Chain A
Amino acid sequence: MRFFKNPNIDFINKRKIAFAISGLIILAGLISFIVKGGFNLSIDFAGGTLVQLKFDKPVDVGSLRDILGELKLSSMQITEFGSKDEVLIRFLPKTKNQTKEVENITDFLKQKIKDNNFEVRRIESVGPKVGTELKYKALWAILFSLIGILIYISIRFEFRFAIGAIVALFHDVLATLALFSLLDKEISLTVIAALLTIVGYSLNDTIVVFDRIREDVRTIRKKTFDEIINLSINQTLSRTIITSLTTLLVVIALLLKGGEVIFDFSLALFFGVVVGTYSSIFIASPILLFWQNRVKTSKKRY
């Protein structure tokens, strides 16, 4: 069985359409980011406390909100979590003693709701200072991995390849973040972990293509650089699609069956795999060509 028998698609020629699509997504993300006043940050970065409760019977989030409203918790959010009997309560503790505040909430709920018992399934609490630290740590982590990759590719390939790869990576991270902002999904530590994984994964795809370009440049003398790029992408197309497909299969399994706790993580991976595959075909190689042409024209001037 084969999906593609000797494909011959002119990817390079379609680069303008690709750039337009990518630009649009990132721009939409940027607008959403500005309008919403930043990302929807989880307590990992914003600080705060999260309590996950599982009730014996389904519970109405609206009435729960009314009941807890009496406690006047600051920036309280109550959301259903995965199923009708499970809820997430998020708030900003007023004192340093968040343990006491969580206890207040559970005691209060036990008092008010007598016919529906619940169990505390999870408590997460991050102080404001720690939140800020984690924010910087996450940014550094992303930066470090990008720098590491830039160095590795520059050594193993050439600098122009590294530029193509890095631009593609920025594109993937930005596009995924844009989608998260548009869908109003929370950015948490695990989402950042997923982003870093995407960086590695998308690069994997890009390198396979670049490897082929490098090989073809050596073996095929008669063709121009953009013809070779097109040929290489076509040659590796089956592999790119199949690997992405198998990875997507497992990510979909995670998304559907992995549970609510890692849903956002799986979602980021899902977006990332799709965007990463797309970028290694439509972004990385055209950028490589663009850089090549720019160097050539600047050389001609002399």
Chain B
Amino acid sequence: MKKGFYVKTFLVLLLILISVLYLMPTFKLMGLSDAEKKKLSLTELEKLQANSINLGLDLKGGMHLVLEVDMSKLTDNEKKDALDRALEVIRNRIDQFGVSEPLIQKQGSNRIIVELPGLQNPERAKKLIGQTALLEFKIVREGQEVQQLLQKIDDIAREKNLLVKYNIISQKELEKEKTQEKDKNVSESDKILSDLQKDVKSSDTSKASDTTVDTSTSVLDKLAKKDTLEVNHPILSRIFPQRSREFVDYYVPKSEYKILDSLFKTQEVQDVIPEDVEILWGSKDVFLGPEAKPYRQLYVVTKKPEMTGTAVKDAIPTIGQGYDPSIAGKPIVEFKVKNDYVETFAQITGSNINKRLAIVLDHKVVNAPKLITKIRNGESIITGSKDMDEAKDLAIVLRSGALPAPVNIIEERTVGPTLGADSIRMGQNAALIGVLLVVLFMLIYYKFAGLIADFALSLNFLFVLAAMAYLNSTLTLPGIAGLILTIGMAVDANVLIFERIREEIDLNKTIAASVESGFTKARWTILDSNITTLLTALVLYNFGTGPIRGFAVTLSIGILSSMFTALVVSRLIFDFIVFKIKPKTLSI
């Protein structure tokens, strides 16, 4: 046998195995019907999707928008961060569409690209994105009242089995949790709940001067271990209260936050929430615990805003001066209200001392600083930013209410889900027919050697898809076309080799010699001719957006993989035949 044959064969087999493994989630996902997908919970589905080949917007349906920020009415100074403000506003809004993998990106000096895959209601999304920012200031509710509200929601959710009723969690998953729970000590879970209530009570009586930050012994850790509370306490088991200074913050793991959000929107829960109160989410993930897991903060606030963004005069991020240790040298935001609102602001701050004032952008709480004193002159500072970037972001949000720069949609590509599904079906059909034709042709024209080429072809298909799953790249409709096109091109390398071998056989060389020189002579031709195609694919990638990029990706991977399958895999098979079987004639 030729040197290195077994090693190479082993490596190729290994590669095939790895490719199959990488494709498992994709096949699993594709095999599921819509009904079966509905049975899966959000988290299960998301995990499966994250490991699969992504479908482009043109296949799964969705919206691609290019927005231009209209800065014509702004002064040069205001223009500076107008794009950042618009970006912050849009990013904050995208959250509410429930889109799993949104993309929000700056482009150039005044554009923003937004991609929302699998969007159900594009009209609503466009309206929301096009709106000017809504900035409000609301008082945060604290203490017993909040605890009781959450308890009430918990009760109603359990009694009416809302999670299953609204298909937020499947019955199957719930039952799985139930069986787990049997093994555990139920009384312990009740103890933790009473702990939780004690915590809240003690925080109620704690004074503002009490500055102990109690994180290590918080109920959070205990509750985090007790994931079996879910059946008895669908809400409370998902909320982790954390005592910090004089307030209790409520955190929900990011994976659970959509579950609760869907639950809060149900009629039954809305009926329980008092009219003057609403539940809001924090705008950004907070990372807590030793593993720094993402959480979302939950706020209960007074529904009626104390003040809106129109009152904002300016907000400047800066480093604190003076002797006060909570300010000096720390990133702060200087916040000023317009002259007309100085009195209002004084009244708000005066009558809510030691309460928190939530800064709410488009119904998301960006920050909730504590009010310390009555502010009479309309000039205040907001402390507590972790770093300068956070202070900058906060200032951007505050100014977005004051300086709204309208955004216009200058490019839109929306594909409905049914068209996407049709495209997938048609792409699959075309691929199937194309492959079948080529496979048959090769068999007829090259007989046994054609079979080898066909084998290389199917490997090529496998490798391209596996590479795409590995690179987490996106399959688009032109991408499918690219895939189909590489089928036609993939046999090219084999054709080049086979034709060469035939020529050598015609020269009356031995089979071994013919195969050897056929491969050697074809090698550089194959490399040269493919590299130029790669070159154009590269240009295409840089030129195109979305669908065309998908085409460039499949084409490039296809070319690389077809060279590999022809020059390495086909070669191994030929070597095996020539050296092991030693035929007198070659069926080519």
Contact = CB atoms under 8 A, between A and B. Distances in A.
B533 A239 contact: no
Given A138-B543, A200-B532, A269-B485, A99 B409 contact: yes
Interface stretch (B96-104, B284-292, B342-350, B411-419): B411-419
A19 interface: no
Interface in B486-503: 487-489, 491-492, 495-496, 499, 502-503
A212 B503 CA distance: 13
A265 B521 CA distance: 35
B320 interface: no
Interface in B360-380: none
Interface stretch (B48-56, B121-129, B164-172, B387-395): B121-129
A227 interface: no
Nearest to B485: A250
Given A148-B535, A149-B536, A254 B484 contact: yes
A151 B539 CA distance: 14
A158 interface: no
B161 to A, nearest CB: 34
Interface in B412-451: 412-416, 418-419, 422-423, 426-427, 429-431, 433-435, 437-438, 441-442, 444-447
The interface centre, meaning the residue of B427, B446, B478, B536 with most chain A CB atoms within 10 A of its CB, is: B536
Interface stretch (B217-225, B250-258, B522-530): B522-530
A120 B420 CA distance: 12
B544 interface: yes
B525 A207 contact: yes
A127 B411 contact: yes
B532 A203 contact: yes
Interface stretch (B183-191, B547-555, B570-578): B547-555
Given A208-B496, A211-B525, A259 B415 contact: no
B540 A254 contact: no
The interface centre, meaning the residue of B126, B447, B484, B539 with most chain A CB atoms within 10 A of its CB, is: B539
A162 to B, nearest CB: 11
A204 B499 contact: no
A99 B430 contact: no
Contact of A124 (B413, B480, B537): B413
Interface range on chain A (Cβ under 8 Å from partner): 35 or more
B533 A259 contact: no
- Chain A contact residues: helix, strand, loop or mixed: helix
Given A141-B543, A144-B539, A235-B503, A257 B433 contact: yes
A216 to B, nearest CB: 12
B408 interface: yes
Contacts of B555: 197
Interface in A83-125: 96-99, 103, 119-125
Given A207-B528, A261-B423, A249 B437 contact: yes
Interface of A: 1-2, 52, 54, 96-99, 103, 119-127, 129-130, 137-138, 140-141, 144-145, 148-149, 152-153, 156, 189-190, 192-193, 196-197, 199-201, 203-205, 207-208, 211-212, 215, 235-236, 238-239, 242-243, 245-254, 256-259, 261-262, 265-266, 269
Given A1-B444, A125-B411, A256-B430, 14 more contacts: A122-B419, A125-B413, A127-B410, A130-B411, A145-B535, A207-B532, A208-B525, A243-B492, A246-B491, A246-B492, A250-B434, A250-B438, A250-B487, A258-B480
Interface of B: 58, 66, 68, 122-123, 126-127, 130, 408-416, 418-419, 422-423, 426-427, 429-431, 433-435, 437-438, 441-442, 444-447, 477-478, 480-481, 484-485, 487-489, 491-492, 495-496, 499, 502-503, 521, 524-525, 528-537, 539-540, 542-544, 547-548, 551-552, 555
22 contacts: A1-B447, A99-B409, A123-B413, A125-B411, A126-B410, A126-B411, A138-B543, A141-B539, A153-B532, A193-B478, A200-B537, A203-B529, A207-B529, A215-B521, A242-B445, A246-B441, A247-B489, A249-B488, A250-B435, A250-B487, A253-B484, A261-B477
